[in-house]
Structure 1
Amino acid sequence: MESLGIHQFGAFLLACVALSLTPGLDTFYILTRSGREGRTVGVAAVLGVNAGCIVHTLAATLGISAILMTSALAFSVLKYAGAAYLVWIGVRMLLSRSEGPREAVTRGSGFSAAFRQGMLTNVLNPKVALFFLAFLPQFVSPHAAHPQLGLLVLGVAFIGVGMTWSMVLAMLGGHMHRWMHGRPKASRWMDRVCGGVLLGFGVKLATQRI
């Protein structure tokens, strides 16, 4: 790792574990999707969220994320777009009249929708972009021959740790899905609670400052 300019890699991995275990929007989204539609859709949500992390890693490596830190307009545009998207998802869940989980949805359009939503909620969150830009460089020497390569390696390591924990969450959500099968009232209440929380995340994102 030293040849890539990476230092304190062990501490970096420990920080990745701690950050992954801390509940947040991604954690809640994965549990929601897998709990409502099953483990398969939960895995799609995991892949979507981590696809968003890949985008942020590449952006941090190329320096694109720095634009968000220096441009209030760029930050605001991305922030409000992400907040609006979260509010839209939350309202849809609150208004949902689903009678319970359906396997056809899990195996069909639910997979692609979960992937797409997971990726967009991650990519459209400027806080995540700034996190990658601020966190990864702390473990790469600015004097390295190719610091961008070091940032890329750290980003992949962060994604690997996060994906491992996310898969555990998808499995837990799958167990919730099986328990709720045949319990339409429980499913409707889950829609309302999850919709309200996602709506709250959207409002919180919209009111946060850089």
Structure 2
Amino acid sequence: MSLAFLLTTLVVVATPGTGVVYTLAAGLSRGRRASVVAAFGCALGIVPHVVAAITGAAALLHASATAFQVLKYAGVAYLLWMAWATVRDRDALGVDGEPGERSPGRVIVRGVLINILNPKLTFFFFAFLPQFVSSGEPDAALRMLMLSGVFMAVTFVVFSAYGVLAASVRRQVISRPRVMAWLRRGFAGSFVMLGAKLAVTDR
């Protein structure tokens, strides 16, 4: 494993995106445990993209404009739904909420869906992983799996750090209803902007 791979992975993972926004929201609304669970869900959502890239399904998706558009707009719709749910559900970032009220299963499922419905991840792995695997390497698929595992581990650690940091200021934040209201709008706006960004991206 090269230093270049680790540095590139760290930069890609640490760049704020839908997973970071979701993990931050989980940390602020439900505490440290929920933020770690959310980070796990986001990391788990990478698995289908890894499988697609390694099996060559990404090449088929890349060749089919229709398949790409369907997956892309499914992702956009989900992000917009997340924005609407964040504004509508006052308990999502509620002043009276206690850490762990939302079941871990629901937190994980949302995190998984956020990453599954992002076709850019598939193309990222399709273009990213081969750069660190020699074309003539006999165990190329195994090496790609190993590198993908490292990418997922880094995702989990970085996202958890974001969430735990947010959870550390949770008590100071939730005691201020007006701040919570603006946070809900801010997170909703972030999901809308990320959805708009995904909607206008091309392959």
For 2:95, the equivalent position in structure 1 comes to 100
Q: Residue 149 of structure 2 aligns to a residue in which SS?
A: helix
For 2:179, the equivalent position in structure 1 comes to 186
CA deviation string 1:43-69 (max 9, x = no partner): 111011000112222221222222221
Q: Residue 109 of structure 1 aligns to a residue in which SS?
A: coil
Looking at structure 2, the residues matched to 128 and 101 of structure 1 have their Cα atoms a distance apart, in angstroms, of 36
State whether residues 23 and 159 of structure 2, in contact with CA within 8 Å, keep that contact through their aligned partners in structure 1.
yes
Q: CA deviation at 1:186?
A: 1.6
- Structure-2-length-normalised TM-score: 0.92
Quick one: which amino acid aligns to residue 97 of structure 2?
Answer: R
Q: CA deviation at 1:29?
A: 1.7
Q: CA deviation at 1:24?
A: 1.9
For 1:124, the equivalent position in structure 2 comes to 117
Looking at structure 1, the residues matched to 105 and 81 of structure 2 have their Cα atoms a distance apart, in angstroms, of 18
Q: Which moved more, 1:191-200 or 1:19-28?
A: 19-28
Q: CA deviation at 1:178?
A: 2.1
Q: State which of 144, 149, 154 in structure 1 corresponds to 2:142.
A: 149
Q: CA deviation at 1:38?
A: 1.4
Looking at structure 2, the residues matched to 93 and 24 of structure 1 have their Cα atoms a distance apart, in angstroms, of 16
For 2:77, the equivalent position in structure 1 comes to 84
The RMSD of aligned alpha carbons is 1.6
For 2:105, the equivalent position in structure 1 comes to 112
Quick one: which amino acid aligns to residue 77 of structure 1?
Answer: V
Looking at structure 1, the residues matched to 130 and 32 of structure 2 have their Cα atoms a distance apart, in angstroms, of 35
Matched, 1:50 2:60: no
State whether residues 36 and 187 of structure 1, in contact with CA within 8 Å, keep that contact through their aligned partners in structure 2.
no
State whether residues 27 and 166 of structure 1, in contact with CA within 8 Å, keep that contact through their aligned partners in structure 2.
yes
For 1:30, the equivalent position in structure 2 comes to 23
For 1:6, the equivalent position in structure 2 comes to none
Shift in CA distance, 94/63, structure 1 to aligned 2, threshold 3 Å: same
Count the aligned residue pairs: 201
State whether residues 46 and 163 of structure 1, in contact with CA within 8 Å, keep that contact through their aligned partners in structure 2.
yes
Q: Residue 143 of structure 1 aligns to a residue in which SS?
A: coil
For 1:4, the equivalent position in structure 2 comes to none
For 2:201, the equivalent position in structure 1 comes to 208
Shift in CA distance, 207/102, structure 1 to aligned 2, threshold 3 Å: same
Q: State which of 52, 67, 72 in structure 2 corresponds to 1:74.
A: 67
Q: Residue 46 of structure 2 aligns to a residue in which SS?
A: helix
Gaps of 5+ in 2: none
State whether residues 86 and 198 of structure 1, in contact with CA within 8 Å, keep that contact through their aligned partners in structure 2.
yes
Q: CA deviation at 1:161?
A: 1.8
State whether residues 34 and 177 of structure 1, in contact with CA within 8 Å, keep that contact through their aligned partners in structure 2.
yes
For 1:140, the equivalent position in structure 2 comes to 133
State whether residues 76 and 199 of structure 2, in contact with CA within 8 Å, keep that contact through their aligned partners in structure 1.
yes
Looking at structure 1, the residues matched to 5 and 53 of structure 2 have their Cα atoms a distance apart, in angstroms, of 17
Runs (4+) of structure 1 exceeding 4 A deviation are: none
Gaps of 5+ in 1: 2-8
Identity rate, percent: 35
Shift in CA distance, 199/102, structure 1 to aligned 2, threshold 3 Å: same
For 1:5, the equivalent position in structure 2 comes to none
